[in-house]
Amino acid sequence: MFRPIRFVLLMATAFIVGVFYERNAHTDRCLDAGGRVVSNLCEGGQR
């Protein structure tokens, strides 16, 4: 009974970590392009 619960918890944790990782990567790419992040959108960056 514990294995299915553990599997779901591990998948949820991996998903949340992935979301935070991608958000951080997005911010880094935006700042490297000379922009700023406002409401999770990159403003003023050069491509």
Give the pLDDT of residue 45. 75
How far, in Å, CA of 18 to CA of 28, rounded?
A: 15
Note the pLDDT tens digit of each residue in 14-30: 999 999 999 999 999 99
- Quick check: 34 pLDDT over 70? yes
H/E stretch holding 23: helix 2-32
How far, in Å, CA of 30 to CA of 47, rounded?
A: 9
Expressed as residue numbers, the domain containing 13 is 2-43
- Quick check: 47 pLDDT over 80? no
Mean pLDDT of 21-45: 93
- Quick check: 6 pLDDT over 90? yes
Domain count, the chain: 1
